Amino acid sequence: MQTNTLSTAKARKASQDLVGLCDFAQNPFLDCYCMTISSSNIYKMLDFCAGDYIHCPIYLKTKVKGGL
């Protein structure tokens, strides 16, 4: 079986970019991706809420608004 090097490279990059669980995961806002999980946004929840939250548009909007 041949390994897919593109998938392996993407997985490696993804693991390097992970920051951790979002600061708001325990007390999410109504517009957070984890509050309304659906097939159209589950990838955003996995990307942002569970790893790369510092690039999440909701996190960034809240950070600017709240002065975090």
DSSP string, 7-62: HHHHHHHHHHH--BS-TTSSS--TTSTTTS--TTTHHHIIIIITTBGGG-HHHHHH
Q: Could you tell me the pLDDT band of residue 65, with boundaries at 50, 70 and 90? A: confident
pLDDT tens for 7-61 read: 544 554 555 555 789 988 889 989 999 998 899 989 999 999 988 899 999 999 9
CA 34 to each of CA 3, 37, 56: distance values in angstroms, whole numbers, following the listed order: 32, 6, 12
Per-residue pLDDT, 20: 83
* Tokens 């939250």, located at residue: 53
Q: Give me 3's structure tokens.
A: 């390994």
Whole-model pTM over 0.75: no
Tell which wins on pLDDT, 49 or 6: 49
Report the amino acid identity of residue 32. C
